[in-house]
Homo-oligomer: A and B are copies of this chain.
Amino acid sequence: MTDPLSPIFAALADPTRRTILGMLLEDDMAVTDVAEPFQMSLAAISKHLQVLAEAGLISREKRGRVIWCKLEPDALKAASVWMQGFGQFEPVDLDALERFLAVELQDGEG
């Protein structure tokens, strides 16, 4: 499953994770601070951040004992581009589109 879009959409399918993305839109945050407004355990939030990171939607950088989470817009952009293929364009070869997006994503990462 090297398809990049599936984990992105799967990550976006959870409202907690979408809320987290919204929080990270304002600023980078430590894991503990991300977890603070939620009524669930820190471990649960940590797992959500793991899902977001594996989808490429965020990155995590450890500085000292704190792990900073940062929004990575490229993955969202990939999903957005895919959807625009539906909104505005005529029939498209989706497999080719996904190959295109895969290249796009690789492009973004160092």
- Residues facing B in A64-110 (CB within 8 A) are 71, 73-74, 76-77, 79-97, 100-101, 104-105, 107-109
- For the complex formed by this chain, how many copies does it contain in all? 2
Q: Show 15 A/B contacts (Cβ-Cβ < 8 Å), sorted by A.
A: A5-B18, A10-B10, A13-B13, A18-B94, A25-B86, A25-B90, A73-B86, A73-B87, A83-B83, A84-B92, A85-B97, A85-B101, A92-B104, A92-B105, A96-B100
Decide yes or no whether A31 CB sits under 8 A from chain B. no
Q: In the complex, what's the smallest C-beta–C-beta distance from A74 to chain B, in angstroms?
A: 8
Q: Which residues from chain A sit less than 8 Å from chain B, CB to CB?
A: 3, 5-7, 9-10, 12-15, 18-19, 21-22, 25-26, 71, 73-74, 76-77, 79-97, 100-101, 104-105, 107-109
